[in-house]
């Protein structure tokens, strides 16, 4: 038997569509896929059946352009000899889903695993974009392990207001300070924020979307140079077509996610994350993908491999520019070229196009040094994420690239202990409590106060809310204090420029140290020893711990939907990816669990 025929015979779609040993079931499977116009010859002729996991819809505006791009993907698949079958994934709109899209990431993951495993698919194009759509898709592809390639929808065009770039999300954090200070009114606030969203696509800042799409490329899961192309650009349609062609070749070569998602690939992605000034959500999502593909990766890897990497990309919130500028300056290949020449990448890692990272980079160069800096002239040295621990939590992250001069001067420049500070805390139980009380003068919040928020983690919220970047009281903003130190067990939007200490694990809702903290306690943050501790006597901590009751409805609000309850009962903490723990043992199921049984 020729190699090619063998590949066709072992293709999983054959078990549905062309299995003479199981004629009655084959007929049942085949007839319904003919009814929208496919021919028997197409379905039974041994062509790869390629799923297009469609994440865009009217509910997911960030990814909606994938409805257009899918037509080009299909054309590419057909051109290469495959059959495209498009299907919807569970909607994951970061801004639209309440209580959080974080709650739904694992639901979308579960749904996609069932579809990829339970339908006659030989390979899949994962349409990615808005924050959680990328990890959900990559986590599912990792679990099932059929050939998979990711296609980014691309960022929106740059936002502009009165001659200045306005970036998604980032403008909200600035505008809310202007609103609090009385510089704009409510209508002006909405107008200013809307200016940042001028076209189809995802957030044009280096938020979680640009981060995760860049990292999907850095991991080798999407075509080189594809992540940064703005959604409306012509080039985006072209790469959609190439992605369609490529997935068919991947099925023929049996190139699976486990070939690409190796530890080397993850370490490359960690370094790229530092160089781009990536989101603090990245460790949660990458650690989750790694766990589902069975690669060892922990928070300590982010510190060890990422903390010292310089910031090269000058995008908001860490810098000034936006998505279109990032693309014109060379995008991910230009960044990876700098890192590779500095010896910081595993150049031998394999990517979806069958070539290595080093081969793909070639001699990729920076096209605009205002937007992407050369490695030897970075925007900031040692700009990755730092990982902190202490008696308040076992693990939390802080983004070093967004520490402003004002913040450094006020908190990190004490000659007696540079890089460390100590202050009293004001503790909020969830975002509602924070919104209600932040401007209450009774709290006595001054420029030496640490704001703490709890009840915002994967169990407490649930899904984890992006609420840790709390603004100071309006009165303090008016006096020129634009940021206070913040600590929380929630997340923070990747578009935020706040140097918060966040993703604290374990969270208060499962009895983590933050649950024991009280307003008025003192906390010490030491970035040199990477510790955060409450300065409370050990016997007092023990006494509070004895009094703590971890009860739904008391420590955190009761579940409102079945999924909230189910996820709460099986979800892990942020430091280990906040995955559904029972799902982790299901790895590479297309190879390890055989085929699903017949439907009838
Ligand atoms: Fe969808 Fe930012 S809200 S990408
Ligand atoms: Mg967000």
Q: Is the pTM of this model over 0.90?
A: yes
Residue 210 CA to ligand 1 center (angstroms) comes to: 9
Is the CB of residue 209 below 6 angstroms from any atom belonging to ligand 1? yes
Domains of the chain with bracketed CATH: 159-197 (no CATH), 389-547 (3.50.30.80)
Handedness of CA 396, 342, 227, 175 (dihedral sign): positive
List, for residues 185-233, the tens digit of each pLDDT value.
Answer: 999 999 999 999 999 999 999 999 999 999 999 999 999 999 999 999 9
CB-CB neighbours of 150 under 10 Å: 30
Q: How far is CA 153 from CA 13, 131, 206, 237, 588, in A?
A: 28, 12, 15, 10, 27
CB 400 within 8 A of CB 386: yes
CB 371 within 8 A of CB 329: yes
Residue 431 CA to ligand 1 center (angstroms) comes to: 20
Ligand 1, atom nearest to 131 Cα = 4
Residue 326 CA to ligand 1 center (angstroms) comes to: 17
Model pLDDT, residue 22: 86
Model pLDDT, residue 324: 98
Model pLDDT, residue 537: 97
Is the CB of residue 156 below 6 angstroms from any atom belonging to ligand 1? no
Is the CB of residue 128 below 6 angstroms from any atom belonging to ligand 1? no
Is the CB of residue 168 below 6 angstroms from any atom belonging to ligand 1? yes
289 SS3 class: helix
Is the CB of residue 94 below 6 angstroms from any atom belonging to ligand 1? yes
Model pLDDT, residue 209: 97
Q: How far is CA 200 from CA 62, 222, 316, in A?
A: 7, 20, 19
Q: Per-block average pLDDT, block size 10, for the chain (600 residues)?
A: 66 92 90 92 93 98 98 98 98 96 98 98 98 98 98 98 92 86 90 95 96 98 98 98 98 97 98 96 98 97 97 94 98 98 98 98 97 97 95 95 88 93 97 96 96 97 94 92 94 83 97 98 96 97 95 90 98 98 98 94
Report the nearest-CA residue for atom 2 of ligand 1.
203
Model pLDDT, residue 362: 95
Model pLDDT, residue 343: 98
Residue 161 CA to ligand 2 center (angstroms) comes to: 22
Mutate to test the pocket of ligand 1, among 166, 168, 171, 212 (most ligand atoms within 8 A of CB): 168
Model pLDDT, residue 164: 93
Residue 37 CA to ligand 2 center (angstroms) comes to: 41
Is the CB of residue 201 below 6 angstroms from any atom belonging to ligand 1? no
Nearest 5°: CA angle at 455, between 135 and 445?
115
Is the CB of residue 101 below 6 angstroms from any atom belonging to ligand 1? no
Ligand at shortest distance from the CA of 154 = 1
> In the block, which residue shows the tokens 């076209």?
199
Model pLDDT, residue 3: 60
Mutate to test the pocket of ligand 1, among 57, 63, 94, 214 (most ligand atoms within 8 A of CB): 94
> Which residues, in sequence order, are CB contacts of 255 under 8 Å at separation 6+?
147, 352, 354
**How many DSSP H helices and E strands does the chain contain?**
24, 14
């Amino acid at each position: 038997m020729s190699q090619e025929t063998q590949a066709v015979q072992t293709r999983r779609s054959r078990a549905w569509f062309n299995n003479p040993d199981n004629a009655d079931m084959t007929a049942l499977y085949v007839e319904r896929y003919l009814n929208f116009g496919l021919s028997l010859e197409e379905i039974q002729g041994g062509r790869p059946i390629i799923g297009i996991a469609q994440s865009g819809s009217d509910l997911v505006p960030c990814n909606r352009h994938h409805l257009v791009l899918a037509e080009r993907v299909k054309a590419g698949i057909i051109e290469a000899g495959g059959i495209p079958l498009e299907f919807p994934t569970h909607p994951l709109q970061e801004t639209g889903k309440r209580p959080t899209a974080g709650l739904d990431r694992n639901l979308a993951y579960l749904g996609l695993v069932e579809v990829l495993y339970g339908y006659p698919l030989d390979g899949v194009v994962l349409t990615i974009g808005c924050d959680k759509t990328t990890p959900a898709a990559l986590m599912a592809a990792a679990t099932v392990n059929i050939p998979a390639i990711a296609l980014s929808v691309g960022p929106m065009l740059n936002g502009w207001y009165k001659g200045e770039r306005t970036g998604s999300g980032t403008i909200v954090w600035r505008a809310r300070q202007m609103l609090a200070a009385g510089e704009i009114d409510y209508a002006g606030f909405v107008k200013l924020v809307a200016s940042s969203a001028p076209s189809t696509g995802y957030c044009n800042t280096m938020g979680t979307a640009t981060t995760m799409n860049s990292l999907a490329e850095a991991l080798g899961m999407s075509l080189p140079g594809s992540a940064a192309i703005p959604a409306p650009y012509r080039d985006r349609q072209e790469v959609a077509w190439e992605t369609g062609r490529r997935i068919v070749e991947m099925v023929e070569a049996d190139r699976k996610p486990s070939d690409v998602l190796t530890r080397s690939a993850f370490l490359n992605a960690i370094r790229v994350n530092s160089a781009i000034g990536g989101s603090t959500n990245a460790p949660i999502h990458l650690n989750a993908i790694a766990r589902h593909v069975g690669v060892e990766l922990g928070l300590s890897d982010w510190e060890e491999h990422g903390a010292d990497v310089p910031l090269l990309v000058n995008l908001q919130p860490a810098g000034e520019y936006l998505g279109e500028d990032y693309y014109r300056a060379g995008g991910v290949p230009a960044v990876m070229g700098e890192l590779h020449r500095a010896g910081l990448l595993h150049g031998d890692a394999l990517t979806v196009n069958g070539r290595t990272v080093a081969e793909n980079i070639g001699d990729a160069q920076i096209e605009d040094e205002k937007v992407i800096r050369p490695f030897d002239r970075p925007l900031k040295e040692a700009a990755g994420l730092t990982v902190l621990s202490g008696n308040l939590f076992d693990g939390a992250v802080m983004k070093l690239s967004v520490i402003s001069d004002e913040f450094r001067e006020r908190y990190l420049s004490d000659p007696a202990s540079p890089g460390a500070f100590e202050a009293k805390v004001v503790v909020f139980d969830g975002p509602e409590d924070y919104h209600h009380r932040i401007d209450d003068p009774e709290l006595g919040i001054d420029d030496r106060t640490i704001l703490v928020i709890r009840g915002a983690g994967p169990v407490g919220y649930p899904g984890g809310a992006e609420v840790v970047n709390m603004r100071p009281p309006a009165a303090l903003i008016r006096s020129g204090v634009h940021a206070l130190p913040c600590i929380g067990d929630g997340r923070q939007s990747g578009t935020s420029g706040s140097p918060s200490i966040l993703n604290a694990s374990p969270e208060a809702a499962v009895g983590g140290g933050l649950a024991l903290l009280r307003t008025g306690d003192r906390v010490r943050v030491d970035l040199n020893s990477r510790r955060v501790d409450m300065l409370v006597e050990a016997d007092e901590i023990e006494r509070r711990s004895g009094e703590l009751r971890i009860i739904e409805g008391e420590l955190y609000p009761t579940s409102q939907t079945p999924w909230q309850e189910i996820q709460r009962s099986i979800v892990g903490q942020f430091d280990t990816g906040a995955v559904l723990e029972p799902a982790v043992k299901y790895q590479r199921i297309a190879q390890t669990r055989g085929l699903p049984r017949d439907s009838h």
